[in-house]
Chains A and B, each alone.
Chain A
Amino acid sequence: MPARFPAERSETAFTDYKLPLLPAQAAVEAGRCLFCHDAPCITACPTHIDIPQFIRKIAGGNDRGAARTIFESNILGMSCARVCPVEVLCVGACVYNDLDEPPIQIGKLQRHATDRAFEEGWRFFEAGAPTGRRVALVGGGPASLAAAHELRRLGHACTMYERRGFLGGLNTTGIAPHKMKADRSVNEAEWVLAIGGVEMRTGAEVGRDVALADLEREFDAVFVGIGLGADSRAKAPGEDLPGVLGAVEWIERMKLGDAGLSGVRHAVVVGAGNTAMDALRELLALGVPQVTMLYRGTEETMGGYAHEWQAAKEAGARAEWRAVAGAFEGNGRLRRLRCMRVDAARAPVEGSEFALDADLALLAIGQSKLGAALAGLAGITVESGIVRVDAHGFTGRPGWYAGGDCANGGKEVVNAAAEGMAAARAIDRELAAGGGTGRRGATHA
């Protein structure tokens, strides 16, 4: 089942931006941890990994126990160790920040333990005793993987629908390769599903190949983790020219194949969120000589993390603040962006027009939302394309749950993992209480 990606993909040119710790370094770093009571780092982690406990285990040479502690809370702990924005999560919450000492490198320590688990083939979890209940997982990204693993531990049979030929979702296709490459995400998905009992339906898109109504007839519960859709368009003239691409689309192309940067002298990234930050750094690392970010707001209002923008700047990115693209121009191919300044209210400033010669423009201004696919099911509320759920991922329709980007609007892998796990437990509780979709004849609206 696992897709074999081409060996000569553009992303293979990248090396890790954050180097792994050598075993001796990990021991020293782990030894610095204060082992805080009710630690702020645990609170800051969406999956609430018992961070001081796993670090203490590393300090004592118990890497296997450390890995178990991590995976107990987050079965995707290996990729999260690499892709989490730790600067604004666990590491940002470390009390050492208030002591003018470097915070504990929690991400690197987590990577130390979880990479070791992968290398050594350690496994910690087994499927629970069969309950006879069946759960469908729509989408094969982080949220569904985390949910499926937990559901299997609880003994429920799972069927996972993934429209692509490989698993991992955006963790496979969208992670900056200086953090993690596509094959590692796919390997992780296989490692997770090796718990067994998850029937795979790849190449099957729910709504197209499989009807939602059929799911309800076949399964006691459904977890929807379908992520986000295509890149949003700029709605400006010329954006259909070759050379104008969605950023998520281009990143996937770069990760799974060839980035198509031959001859590109100047690339413009429109937008200033974290997809834009990744694109800036990736373009520069792949040798594009000039890379400019075009953003309608300011450094203070940008959506991308400050540490990511700092790294992009250090790599050579420059920014045009309070600027928007009015038109994309070129004869059969992008050559120029017509831009203008906007004021604080985002109204165009008269006479501020300027041009940027560019041969590649990446639109990083958001992605479409896929919640509409569920809008026809009574009890499920979809707002602005996002599926509304409670703290446990429950949609309001018995047996139906959602998590990850389709329900949170687009957050981190670790949020998806937390939401998948929470939903799995809620599904288990609902089924134990006799609820669910009604496959077995229970009645509901």
Chain B
Amino acid sequence: MPDLSTDTGGIRSPNPFWLASAPPANSGAQIQRAFDAGWGGAVWKTLGTPIQNVSSRFGGHTIGSVRGAGFNNIELITDRPLEVNLREITETKKRWPHNPIIVSLMVETREEWRDIIKRSIDAGADGLELNFGCPHGMCERGMGSAVGQEPAVNERITSWACEFSTVPVLVKLTPNVSDIVPHGMAAKRGGAHGISLINTIKSIIAVDIDRFVPEPRVGSLSTNGGYCGAAVKPIALHMVAALAREPGFGLPISGIGGVRNWRDAVEFMLLGSSTVQVCTEVMLRGYRVVEDMRDGLEEYMRSKGFGRVQDMVGKAVPAFSEWGDLDMNYETVARIDADRCIGCQLCVAACHDGAHQCIHPQEGTRVPRVDESECVGCNLCQIVCPAPGCITMERVDNGHRPATWNDHVSHGAALRPKKGAH
């Protein structure tokens, strides 16, 4: 049986599924129920000087009939007294000694960091997560993403935390930057044992088109919130992979952003995450979503022959390359399996209006025809096709040797003739 246990920067966990620092990890009672349901670890909702929240706080992005495909919030860090949180951390650790509690922290001054780190560790924290990510409310007070967007500040505060801490320190990064790498490197220079990313993305989730006010609405006003949920996964995967492949980085990564199920988790792991953190899916459906995450991961590892989670972490990172290194002479064309085609002709509309006008209706049949001499192999038809296995992208042997753009520029490697460029 595959071993699901993980080690992220020295934080050991019975499985790679952690609750992210967020409403589902707001209290001891919640986190204990989550551990009951099978979660491996939990990042306690950020401690600091307790704040006061507004109502409402959340906004949902419904796509078709899928509610909450994207999600945002304008909630701040914990609003509970510090003593209560610390007491509950201790109680929870007593009952669940093998499930790591990582305490998320956000304060301002060096003294405050020293004090809260000591108290968190005294309460039983197995690790700390520095919240340098929150893109609303706290950043306007000089914390959260205001720290994460400034590598020098990030490095300085990380170094304080590492100086004061006796447990591993993770730095949680904000995606609200043009390039994540300098920020990950700053955390590393500050001495972090690992990083968590991504925090939420600065966003306006929707506009109330009757009231002319963005959402979520607080009276007659709204503000920007942090975007998360399934819709942000592609952004998160890219940022995780960008750090994972960065030479000289090498820190463990706890991946966050749109993990709904085991498959999403596997993708994060293959791009370099040793654990994943989940918030939105739990907010939408509750703690018991973890059962399939664990089962599914275990089945996947069994099917691929991975004995330990670490065996698969980063497995797809080498294949994440630069555009200039892609083989320009690799050629595919779309093929339609007439037996599987249901005649919807979505491919015709997509190719005609959105691609290179190479899929055409035919007389006497609903099955369209691909003009392979014009097909650029873009994939659009395959993406829109609702019939499983109907459209495949087939490799064409065009007789040209592999050649990248970089090869072409540096030493004139021959590229195949362009298709569809007329």
Q: Are A and B genuine complex partners?
A: yes
Which A residues are closer than 8 A to B by beta carbons? 27-28, 31, 34-40, 59, 95-96, 98-99
- Contact present for A36 and B65 (CB under 8 Å): no
Question: Interface majority SS on A: helix, strand, loop or mixed?
Answer: helix
B342 is contacted by which of A31, A37, A38, A99 (Cβ under 8 Å)? A99
Q: Determine the distance from Cα of A39 to Cα of B387 in the docked complex, in whole angstroms.
A: 16
Q: Determine the distance from Cα of A59 to Cα of B66 in the docked complex, in whole angstroms.
A: 12
Residue contacts A-B, CB under 8 angstroms, 16 given: A31-B65, A34-B386, A36-B344, A37-B344, A37-B345, A37-B346, A37-B348, A37-B349, A38-B345, A38-B348, A39-B344, A40-B366, A96-B342, A98-B342, A98-B343, A99-B386
Contact with A along B116-128 (1 / 0, CB 8 A): 0000000000000
B214 at the interface (CB under 8 A from A): no
Contact with A along B344-385 (1 / 0, CB 8 A): 111011000000000001000010000000000000000000
Q: How far is the CB of B357 from chain A (nearest CB, A)?
A: 13
Which B residues are closer than 8 A to A by beta carbons? 64-65, 342-346, 348-349, 361, 366, 386-387
Q: Tell me which of B344, B346, B366, B387 has the highest count of chain A C-beta atoms within 10 A of its own C-beta.
A: B344
- Contact present for B344 and A95 (CB under 8 Å): yes
B349 CB contacts on chain A under 8 angstroms: 37
Taking A27-B65, A99-B387 as known contacts, 10 extra A-B pairs with beta carbons closer than 8 A to each other, sorted by chain A number, are: A31-B65, A36-B343, A36-B345, A37-B345, A37-B348, A37-B349, A37-B361, A38-B361, A96-B342, A99-B342
Q: Determine the distance from Cα of A28 to Cα of B345 in the docked complex, in whole angstroms.
A: 22
- Contact present for B344 and A34 (CB under 8 Å): yes
Q: How far is the CB of B214 from chain A (nearest CB, A)?
A: 19
Q: How far is the CB of A394 from chain B (nearest CB, A)?
A: 29
A37 CB contacts on chain B under 8 angstroms: 344-346, 348-349, 361
A34 is contacted by which of B64, B346, B361 (Cβ under 8 Å)? B346
Question: Interface majority SS on B: helix, strand, loop or mixed?
Answer: loop
Q: Determine the distance from Cα of A44 to Cα of B169 in the docked complex, in whole angstroms.
A: 65
B366 CB contacts on chain A under 8 angstroms: 40
Q: How far is the CB of A356 from chain B (nearest CB, A)?
A: 47
Q: Determine the distance from Cα of A34 to Cα of B386 in the docked complex, in whole angstroms.
A: 8
Q: Determine the distance from Cα of A40 to Cα of B348 in the docked complex, in whole angstroms.
A: 14
Q: Given the known A-B contacts A31-B64, A31-B65, are A36 and B346 also in contact in the complex, defined by CB atoms under 8 Å?
A: yes
Q: Determine the distance from Cα of A95 to Cα of B345 in the docked complex, in whole angstroms.
A: 10
- Contact present for B343 and A40 (CB under 8 Å): yes
Q: How far is the CB of B350 from chain A (nearest CB, A)?
A: 8
Q: How far is the CB of B369 from chain A (nearest CB, A)?
A: 14
Q: Determine the distance from Cα of A40 to Cα of B344 in the docked complex, in whole angstroms.
A: 8
Chain B residue nearest in CB terms to A43:
B366
Q: How far is the CB of A125 from chain B (nearest CB, A)?
A: 28
B342 CB contacts on chain A under 8 angstroms: 95-96, 98-99
Q: How far is the CB of A35 from chain B (nearest CB, A)?
A: 7
- Contact present for B65 and A28 (CB under 8 Å): yes
A27 CB contacts on chain B under 8 angstroms: 65
Q: How far is the CB of B384 from chain A (nearest CB, A)?
A: 9
Chain A residue nearest in CB terms to B386:
A34
B386 CB contacts on chain A under 8 angstroms: 34, 99
Q: Determine the distance from Cα of A36 to Cα of B387 in the docked complex, in whole angstroms.
A: 13
Q: Determine the distance from Cα of A59 to Cα of B64 in the docked complex, in whole angstroms.
A: 7
Chain B residue nearest in CB terms to A99:
B342
Chain B residue nearest in CB terms to A36:
B344
- Contact present for A35 and B346 (CB under 8 Å): yes
A28 CB contacts on chain B under 8 angstroms: 65
Q: Determine the distance from Cα of A35 to Cα of B346 in the docked complex, in whole angstroms.
A: 7
A31 CB contacts on chain B under 8 angstroms: 64-65
Q: Determine the distance from Cα of A230 to Cα of B52 in the docked complex, in whole angstroms.
A: 80
Closest CB pairs A-B (n = 10): A37-B345, A37-B349, A98-B342, A95-B342, A36-B344, A31-B64, A95-B344, A31-B65, A28-B65, A37-B348
Q: How far is the CB of A417 from chain B (nearest CB, A)?
A: 26
Q: Determine the distance from Cα of A36 to Cα of B385 in the docked complex, in whole angstroms.
A: 10
Chain A residue nearest in CB terms to B388:
A99
A38 CB contacts on chain B under 8 angstroms: 345, 348, 361
Chain B residue nearest in CB terms to A60:
B64
Chain B residue nearest in CB terms to A101:
B386
Q: How far is the CB of B364 from chain A (nearest CB, A)?
A: 14
B344 CB contacts on chain A under 8 angstroms: 34, 36-37, 39, 95
Chain A residue nearest in CB terms to B351:
A37
A95 is contacted by which of B65, B343, B348 (Cβ under 8 Å)? B343
Q: How far is the CB of B351 from chain A (nearest CB, A)?
A: 10
Q: Determine the distance from Cα of A285 to Cα of B415 in the docked complex, in whole angstroms.
A: 75
Q: How far is the CB of A420 from chain B (nearest CB, A)?
A: 30
Q: How far is the CB of A61 from chain B (nearest CB, A)?
A: 10
A36 CB contacts on chain B under 8 angstroms: 343-346
Chain A residue nearest in CB terms to B387:
A99
Q: Determine the distance from Cα of A40 to Cα of B343 in the docked complex, in whole angstroms.
A: 8
Q: How far is the CB of A29 from chain B (nearest CB, A)?
A: 9
A59 CB contacts on chain B under 8 angstroms: 64
A39 CB contacts on chain B under 8 angstroms: 344
B343 CB contacts on chain A under 8 angstroms: 36, 40, 95, 98
Q: How far is the CB of A28 from chain B (nearest CB, A)?
A: 5
Q: How far is the CB of B113 from chain A (nearest CB, A)?
A: 49
Chain B residue nearest in CB terms to A97:
B342
B346 CB contacts on chain A under 8 angstroms: 34-37
Q: How far is the CB of B383 from chain A (nearest CB, A)?
A: 13
A35 CB contacts on chain B under 8 angstroms: 346
Q: Determine the distance from Cα of A239 to Cα of B361 in the docked complex, in whole angstroms.
A: 57
Q: Determine the distance from Cα of A39 to Cα of B342 in the docked complex, in whole angstroms.
A: 11
Q: Determine the distance from Cα of A38 to Cα of B65 in the docked complex, in whole angstroms.
A: 25
Chain A residue nearest in CB terms to B348:
A37
Q: Determine the distance from Cα of A28 to Cα of B67 in the docked complex, in whole angstroms.
A: 11
Q: Determine the distance from Cα of A96 to Cα of B342 in the docked complex, in whole angstroms.
A: 7
Q: How far is the CB of A135 from chain B (nearest CB, A)?
A: 38
Q: Determine the distance from Cα of A401 to Cα of B344 in the docked complex, in whole angstroms.
A: 37
Chain B residue nearest in CB terms to A29:
B65
Q: Tell me which of A34, A39, A40, A96 has the highest count of chain B C-beta atoms within 10 A of its own C-beta.
A: A34
